[in-house]
Amino acid sequence: MQHLIPEWLARPAAVLSTLAALAGVGLIFWSAVTGGYWWAIWGTASFVGAALLWHVADYAAAHSPLPTPPRGGR
């Protein structure tokens, strides 16, 4: 159960969550400029996606095993 999410997925998920949050900010700003509420809905969906991706990254980083030191001296 410990390795449900591989550790190589942690960093890309964190980067994608940051990009999704920035896209959400842009969409909400565009909603304010144009007055279209659908842009705000898509911006909110981007924030929800960013939160889910951040949770995946945090979970993967917390459950990845620590590297073992090499045996035999140095």
Query: Phi and psi dihedrals of 21, rounded to 5?
Result: -65, -40
pLDDT in tens, 39-70: 999 999 999 999 998 888 787 777 666 666 66
69 CB-contact burial (10 Å; exposed 0-12 / middle 13-18 / buried 19+): exposed
In the numeric block, which tokens belong to residue 7? 């550790």
Q: What is the pTM of this model?
A: 0.68
**What is the predicted pLDDT for the residue at 1?**
44
Residue pair 60/9 in contact by the 8 Å Cβ criterion: yes
pLDDT per residue as tens digits for the range 7-31? 666 678 778 888 899 999 999 999 9
Every domain of the chain and the residues it spans: 7-62
Q: For position 7, what pLDDT does the model report? A: 65
